């Protein structure tokens, strides 16, 4: 538990499922005031609010499409209007779809870039502008992926968005460090969430993924959430402009395992 997170106001985008859900829940357990952004699944966010309240936490929900500038502004304003301030912005919402690049339409490209990268840009900009104006030494946590450094054929738009998140976050970290605002990335590997449901339901595909993970297991959303609360806490007060990989060693050249190479 991180005592300093108690009472902090935290926005989590795309929080009705997967990693966002686990992160919002964990902040709730830390007794933060959690603003759950959902896109389409209001029922799931109501369920999550119930779970957080049952555990003694506080949470509210707000609908919004992070690919729309006015919606991101609305989400942040809602947090400020409801809880009076903003301390932590977790830009988590993201999408992916598999398309060989020679068939990748501009529509698909724009959809992924506007949700994954532009959404994080606007979310970070709006949160930072509020923190600057109110002298808040806040924390911005941007959901990247191991694909911010691992190329991924058939997912060129996704990999480009995640690479962009890395450089955007590092730039913001440098720009706003003098104000005490920290900006970091979380980079999960293969985690058990709806985004991977189809792939992991096929035992052969799951086996292929496991071969790329030195710890030989698919991660759980709670393992990413644990990193998120640490990054937001005072325990990480000297950490900015970095990426925390939560990937079971996937980025550690697993093909060299057992002395190969
Ligand atoms: P998920 O599909 O369960 O979660 C994505 C969430 O984003 C959903 O709740 C969805 O409703 C929301 N969302 C999608 N478009 C949105 C929009 N326009 N506006 C607001 N919300 C929107 O999958 P997940 O695994 O929890 O993914 C969360 C983040 O983690 C994504 O950014 C993803 O790229 C990243 N990630 C996941 C993994 C993994 O293995 N699960 C690995 C690396 C990175």
Digit-coded pLDDT (tens) for 93-125: 999 999 999 999 999 999 999 999 999 999 999
User: Which residue's alpha carbon is nearest to atom 12 within ligand 1?
Assistant: 14
Q: Tell me phi and psi for residue 33, to 5 degrees.
A: -100, 115
Residue whose CB lies within 8 A of the most ligand 1 atoms, among 72, 92, 94, for a mutation test: 94
- Per-residue pLDDT band for 216 (boundaries 50, 70, 90) equals very high
Domain 3-248: give its CATH superfamily: NAD(P)-binding Rossmann-like Domain (3.40.50.720)
Between 8-17, 23-32, 196-205, 241-250, the lowest mean confidence (pLDDT) is in 196-205
- Per-residue pLDDT band for 55 (boundaries 50, 70, 90) equals confident
Place of tokens 């690919």: 67
For residue 64, the model assigns a pLDDT of: 98
For residue 209, the model assigns a pLDDT of: 96
Note if 130 is an active site residue: no
pLDDT above 90: residue 56? no
Query: Residue 65 in 3-state DSSP?
Result: coil
Closest ligand 1 atom number to CA of residue 22: 26
Q: What average pLDDT does range 78-93 have in this prediction?
A: 98
Whether the CA torsion 128, 92, 226, 256 is positive or negative: it is negative
Average pLDDT, whole number, for the chain? 97
Q: Tell me phi and psi for residue 54, to 5 degrees.
A: -60, -35
Closest ligand 1 atom number to CA of residue 147: 43
Report the alpha-carbon distance of residue 247 to residue 185 in Å, rounded: 13
Closest ligand 1 atom number to CA of residue 20: 26
Both tokens of residue 202?
């096929």
Query: Residue 88 in 3-state DSSP?
Result: strand
- The packing angle between helices 156-176 and 119-133, to 10°, is 10
pLDDT above 90: residue 27? yes
Residue whose CB lies within 8 A of the most ligand 1 atoms, among 14, 152, 250, for a mutation test: 14
Residue whose CB lies within 8 A of the most ligand 1 atoms, among 11, 12, 16, 20, for a mutation test: 20
Question: DSSP characters for 90-154?
Answer: EE---------GGG--HHHHHHHIIIIIIHHHHHHHHHHHHHHHTT---EEEEE--GGGTS--TT
Both tokens of residue 33?
């005031």
For residue 207, the model assigns a pLDDT of: 96
User: Which residue's alpha carbon is nearest to atom 33 within ligand 1?
Assistant: 94
Report percent pLDDT > 90 for the chain. 98
- DSSP category for residue 9: E
- Structural domain spans, the chain: 3-248
- Per-residue pLDDT band for 213 (boundaries 50, 70, 90) equals very high
pTM, full prediction: 0.98
CA of residue 178 to ligand 1 center, whole Å:
31
For residue 48, the model assigns a pLDDT of: 98
| Model pLDDT for residues 154-175, shown as the tens digit of each residue | 999 999 999 999 999 999 999 9
Element of type H or E holding 229: helix 221-232
For residue 5, the model assigns a pLDDT of: 98
Closest-CA residue to 95 (of 83, 85, 108, 78) = 108
| Model pLDDT for residues 236-249, shown as the tens digit of each residue | 999 999 999 999 99
Residues lining ligand 1, CB < 6 A?
A: 13-14, 16-20, 39-40, 65-67, 92-95, 115, 143, 145, 188, 190-191, 193-196
Contact status, residue 232 vs residue 10, Cβ threshold 8 Å: yes
pLDDT above 90: residue 81? yes
Report the alpha-carbon distance of residue 231 to residue 240 in Å, rounded: 9
Q: What average pLDDT does range 191-196 have in this prediction?
A: 94
Closest-CA residue to 62 (of 76, 47, 48) = 76
In sequence order, the 6+-apart residues with CB closer than 8 A to the CB of 129 are: none
CA of residue 260 to ligand 1 center, whole Å:
35
Q: What average pLDDT does range 191-195 have in this prediction?
A: 95
- DSSP category for residue 191: B
CA of residue 256 to ligand 1 center, whole Å:
30
Q: How far apart are the first and last CA of the chain?
A: 42
For residue 210, the model assigns a pLDDT of: 97
> Which entry of 158, 238, 245, 253 is annotated as an active-site residue?
158
**Taking CA 143 as the corner, what is the angle to CA 54 and CA 182, rounded to the nearest 5 degrees?**
90
pLDDT above 90: residue 138? yes
């Amino acid at each position: 538990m991180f005592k300093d997170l108690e009472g902090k106001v935290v926005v989590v985008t795309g929080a009705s499922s997967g990693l966002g859900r686990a992160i919002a829940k964990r902040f709730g357990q830390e007794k933060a005031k959690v603003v759950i952004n959902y896109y389409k699944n209001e029922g799931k966010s109501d369920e999550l609010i119930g779970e957080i309240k049952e555990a003694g936490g506080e949470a509210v929900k707000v609908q919004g499409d992070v690919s729309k500038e006015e919606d991101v502004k609305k989400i942040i304003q809602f947090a400020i209007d409801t809880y009076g301030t903003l301390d932590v912005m977790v830009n988590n919402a993201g999408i992916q779809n598999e398309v060989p690049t020679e068939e990748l339409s501009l529509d698909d490209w724009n959809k992924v870039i506007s949700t994954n990268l532009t959404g994080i840009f606007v979310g970070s900009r709006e949160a930072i502008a509020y923190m600057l104006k109110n002298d808040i030494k806040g924390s911005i946590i941007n959901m990247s992926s191991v694909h911010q450094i691992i190329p991924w054929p058939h997912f060129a738009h996704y990999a480009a968005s995640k690479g962009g998140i890395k450089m955007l976050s590092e730039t913001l970290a440098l720009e706003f460090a003098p104000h005490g605002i920290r900006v970091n990335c979380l980079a999960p590997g293969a985690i058990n969430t709806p985004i991977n449901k189809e792939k992991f339901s096929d035992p052969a595909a799951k086996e292929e993924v496991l071969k790329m993970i030195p710890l030989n297991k698919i991660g759980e959303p709670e393992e990413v959430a644990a990193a998120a609360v640490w990054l937001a806490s005072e325990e990480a007060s000297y950490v900015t402009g970095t990426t925390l990989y939560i990937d079971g060693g996937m980025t550690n050249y697993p093909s060299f395992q057992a002395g190969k190479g």
